[in-house]
Structure 1
Amino acid sequence: MSGFAYVVRGGQVESPPLKQALGIRADLAWIHLTTNDERAKAWLGGEARLSPYIIEALTAAETRPRCDSVGPGAVINLRGLSSEALAASDPLASIRIYAHGGCVFSVTRKALNALHPVRELVAAGKILDPGDLIAALAQAITEELDPVVADLGDSLDDCEEQIATGHAFDLRRMVNRVRSQAIGFRRFLNPQRAALEKLATIPSDWLGDDDRLHLSAAADRAARMAEELESIRERAALTHETLTDLRAEQLDQRSLIIAIVAMVFLPLTFITGLLGMNVDGIPFAHEPWAFWGVFWFCLTIAVVITVYFVGRHWFER
């Protein structure tokens, strides 16, 4: 188990050990744990003296974005990008937060990219209370996700442009990747929007009016990204169907060409097979012109059949 702590008193920022930060009365005491083992539960229940419900909310293996009011405080789960490799079905790392009064407990199981800029803001003395901290985390998460969602839309635009210009070779992998990422992100952004909206309306002394405005702005941004991801998902599905239709059309065209070639050579095969039998009585078998006669006869039949199919525009279907 590892972590850090910040204490803000009168605009002054300190970074004491975790245990010492628990007993300090301050405008903001932020205690963060990075863990995925049982020691976190023991520490939160023993040293921090949190209730079992809050401990379970902070250390649960599977979470989704949510916000619950707990007495004078609130439990908030948010999801953001991580520098670690995550499963395609679970592409965002979680941060679980319990805030009350001047104290904030947070727990992550995977590295969360948004933590670094928020820590810098705290160290610079720009975050002074729990409301500022949670609003900064929400903003950092949404600001980092926004260009990623935009890049997914741009990738899909490139796929659609290549299809329109006839360069649709091997695009299905890219379309499937975009669709999979859009579904994974959207799975968490919709409940995250609802959690931020709920947090902005919770009656509490540690959330100021400016904090509520920032949370509402982050919620609006999450809602816009969720709508964009839904649009990307639908467009990716349509693009995939278009690629499937194009592939089927290519197979049909190639099958048609193969069938036409087979129909051209079918009568020729019959004639050469008939004349190639090793029996007596084959007409013109001993004539010097017989080979070239059969050759030109077969060539004439092949030309006639080919002209027929060209005239019927079979090669253009």
Structure 2
Amino acid sequence: MAEKHFSPSGLAAQAVVEDEDESYVDFNYDEPGSLPGTLDLEADAPPPIIVLIDYNEAKATRVEVQTPEACLPYLDTESVSWVDVLGLGNEDIWRRMGQVFNLHPLVLEDVVNVPQRPKVEDVDSQLVIIARMVMPKESGFGFYSEQVSFVLGKYYLLTVQEEPERDCFQPVRDRIRANKGTIRQRGADYLACTLLDAIIDGFFPVLETYGERIEELEDEVVLNPTRRTLEKIYQIKRELLALRRAIWPQRDAINSLIRDGSNLISPDVRIYLRDCYDHAVQVMDIVETYRELASGLMDVYLSSVSNKMNEVMKLLTVISSIFIPLTFIAGVYGMNFNTEKSPWNMPELNWYWGYPLCWAVMIATAGSLVYFFWRRGWFDNISTIKED
């Protein structure tokens, strides 16, 4: 076990390829008949990366430990020890982790069997917080979502991240390293509150991308709605539902921390939790607003498609109305009666100017109908179809 300079650059791990058909409404459930506390992990999974940050007002030390037992010397000190586990790993590691941190089997189950519903539980002398962290994807469409578990003790905080590639805790690490603010003068409860606030604030960049996408869809729905537009609206509604399922119980969990309290949360830290709760409520309001806008876009889409179809039908009606009298005239003079048998058998067929006169009548009839429709304003409505 070697100490290293405080830098999260050593946390690099191989990126996991994200499935484009990622399920945003996934949930964990136990197999029927399974025992409580059963861990759902692969036996041959690689061990997680365990990063321990031990700090007090005077200094901060970052250590990458190789085994859970290496954390024991830091847990007995009065300095704050932040044990950050990156990745879930295998069952053997977590059985040993449970012994080191004295974790209840049901706590291990909630931490390892993901995803769980965000919640807060006071178990023995520990406070367990299950949270949901989201981050925008590099493409700007969709978001990454993973579970982050907190186990708060008197002098330590254990955090477990589902994926090791990304998180929103870098500003907190930088504040500890540079000793900015009051984080190094406070306890582990303030660290947990700070990380929880960072998770809540991480929703805002994601929501910002959805605000931009909804604005673009509003223009697309009004100007040129297509089948692809309908798919985009459905996708946004589905993703916003996943955001709602992530922030709603998270807001309730923070509220329960404020309302019920805990021996591990000091009164002054509870004030910071109120600010965190306000941010969660704000995120919830934005999500609900965007969901209503997305539902409204569906109605606007149906109206736009119906209006576009009406304009097309009106255009076809105008064209048909113009050609109906012309077709009648051409049909009458296409009957080919024999004028030698009777002077009443279409004498116009023998006129010297009969053909030009027929064209003049048809052009005059079509022009009269076009002028009539123009005066009624039909062509003003039809012109919007050409813009689409």
**TM-score, with normalisation over the residues of structure 1?**
0.83
What amino acid maps onto 2:60 in structure 1? V
The answer for the alignment partner of 1:97 in structure 2 is: 150
The correspondence of residues 246-261 of structure 1 with structure 2, limited to 5 A, is 246-261=304-319
What does 1:1-317 align with in structure 2 at a 5 Å threshold? 1-8=48-55, 11-16=58-63, 17=65, 18-24=68-74, 25-27=76-78, 28-39=80-91, 40-45=93-98, 47-82=100-135, 91-110=144-163, 111-125=165-179, 126-127=183-184, 128-150=186-208, 152-153=210-211, 156=214, 168-169=223-224, 172=229, 179-277=237-335, 280-281=338-339, 283=346, 284-315=348-379
Amino acid at match of 1:140: A
Whether the 8 Å CA contact 1:31–1:104 is kept in 2: the answer is yes
Q: CA deviation at 1:116?
A: 1.7
Q: Match for 2:131: what amino acid?
A: L
Q: Alpha-carbon deviation of 1:208?
A: 1.6
**CA shift for structure 1 position 312:** 4.5
Cα distance change of structure 1 residues 131 and 49 upon mapping to structure 2, 3 Å threshold: closer
Give secondary structure in 1 for the equivalent of 2:265: coil
State the alpha-carbon separation in 2 of the partners of residues 62 and 143 from structure 1: 20
SS at match of 1:206: coil
Q: CA deviation at 1:29?
A: 2.2
Residues 78 and 192 of structure 1 are in contact (CA less than 8 Å); yes or no, is this contact kept in structure 2? yes
Greater CA deviation, 105-114 or 35-44? 35-44
Distance in 2, Cα, partners of 1:26 & 1:84: 39
**1:223 Cα deviation from its structure 2 partner:** 0.5
Cα distance, 1:4 vs. partner? Answer: 0.6
Which runs of 5 or more structure 1 residues have no equivalent in the other structure?
Answer: none
Is the partner of 2:135 in helix, strand or coil? coil
Cα pair distance change 1:54/1:154, threshold 3 Å: same
Q: CA deviation at 1:142?
A: 2.6
CA distance in 2, matches of 1:89, 1:154: 12
Equivalent-residue separation in structure 1 for 2:135 and 2:291 (angstroms): 22
Per the TM alignment, residue 219 of structure 1 is displaced from its structure 2 partner at its CA by 0.8
More moved, 168-177 vs 299-308: 168-177
* Change in CA separation of 1:51 and 1:84 when aligned onto 2, cut-off 3 Å: farther
Deviation of 1:251 after TM superposition, in Å, equals: 2.4
Q: Using the TM superposition, give the Cα deviation of residue 109 of structure 1 relative to its aligned residue in structure 2, in angstroms.
A: 1.2
Q: Which moved more, 1:217-226 or 1:184-193?
A: 184-193
Task: Please list the CA deviations of residues 156-180 of structure 1 after superposition, one character each: whole Å capped at 9, or x if unmatched.
Answer: 46766x58xx973459477666555
Give the C-alpha shift of residue 267 in structure 1. Answer: 2.4
Determine the C-alpha separation between the residues in 2 that align with 1:48 and 1:208: 21
CA contact under 8 A between 1:200 and 1:215: conserved in structure 2?
A: yes
Structure 2: gaps (5+ residues): 1-47, 340-344, 382-388
Q: Distance in 2 between matches of 1:202 and 1:114?
A: 27
TM-score, normalisation: structure 2: 0.69
For the structure 1 residues 85 and 2, does the alpha-carbon distance in structure 2 shift closer, same or farther, using more than 3 Å as the test? farther
CA RMSD, 1 decimal? 3.3
Secondary structure of the residue that 1:63 maps to in structure 2? coil
- Cα distance change, pair 10–151 in 1 and its aligned pair in 2 (3 A): closer
Q: Which is further off, 7-16 or 75-84? A: 7-16
Distance 1:43 1:83 in 2: 34
Q: Secondary structure at the match of 1:81?
A: strand
1:92 match: secondary structure: strand
When structure 1 is superposed on structure 2, of 304-313 and 204-213 the one drifting more is 304-313
Equivalent position SS for 1:227: helix
Structure 2 CA distance for aligned equivalents of residues 237 and 54 of structure 1: 39
Q: Secondary structure at the match of 1:271?
A: helix
